[in-house]
Amino acid sequence: MLSDSLVYVAGHRGLVGSAVWRALTAQGVEPVGWTSSELDLRDRDLTFEALLQVKPDVMVMAAARVGGILANDTAPVEFLNDNLRIQTNLFEAAHEAGVQTVVFLGSSCIYPKLAPQPIPEAALLTGPLEETNRAYAVAKIAGIEAVRSYRKQHGHRWISAMPTNLYGPGDNFDPVSSHVLPAMIRKFHEAGESVTLWGTGTPRREFLHADDAAAAILHLAEHYDGDQHVNVGCGRDVSIAELARLVAEVTGFDGDILWDTSKPDGTPRKLLDVSLLTGLGWRPRIDLRDGIASTYRWFLEHG
């Protein structure tokens, strides 16, 4: 049980890491973690020193270099190298420290651009990736393979979880590096008479609140032990145009929504098959509109 474990949350100041931290503290668990200024996980020696000193029972790997389409497309070297370094250092240090349970967090971008919908876990490596975030996806695929390899060679109870698009308190609202939903919230909040968004608005995306993702991650840590990575999502999607109208409603924007069709849409549709996760007894609780509203309130208080 997690209540009897020492849990290290790597990346506990980020969107999903902070949600995992909140969920643990709500269960009476006192997790441990370091900020990036306290511990640079790209530094192998410092990472080993930290984990060997603490020797946690459980490690949730939420630390990563993340960003939206523009950030991924313009800095693929950093997205590849930083994530590979972080993952390798954490895996090797966790092995040396004898960490019993590791939950590696990836992303739904690991799947082929034209994967079947909803996307089953078996779709991994069955086709070309979306070009705009291929470097990040390759790093996350390497993480999945690392987990499988440590399980096979050393018998570790380590697992991989692949969340869909996440949002919520603590999200990144930077206009350059943010993902689609927080970027929309900021755009609509700051808008005048119109808002211009990338693409056509037709791609469909699935969105899961970070607190639901955290609940799923901790559920897997306690109830799952398998080689297969597990999709984490809500099983429902909306078009980007529908999302825009929802964000406009929540933020009180009543101007024109324009579309810059010279900009890329990205993957046409990305909806995860979450039957493996739901078969383990987990269900999401937060409705999309309610989640956007609470995220907007957080943005107003902290943004």
Asked if the bond preceding 120 is cis, omega within 30° of 0, the reply is no
Q: Does residue 150 have an active-site annotation?
A: no
Give the separation between CA 6 and CA 27, rounded to whole angstroms: 13
Q: Answer whether 138's CB lies under 8 Å from 129's CB.
A: yes
Alpha-helical runs (H) found in 198-279: 210-223, 240-251, 275-279
Of 8, 111, 136, 167, catalytic:
136
Give the separation between CA 247 and CA 227, rounded to whole angstroms: 38
Residue of 234, 219, 230 whose CA lies nearest to 291? 234
3-state helix, strand, coil split of the chain in percent (to 5) is 45, 15, 35
Q: Answer whether 94's CB lies under 8 Å from 72's CB.
A: no
Give the separation between CA 256 and CA 151, rounded to whole angstroms: 53
Give the separation between CA 196 and CA 188, rounded to whole angstroms: 10
Cite the active site residues: 136
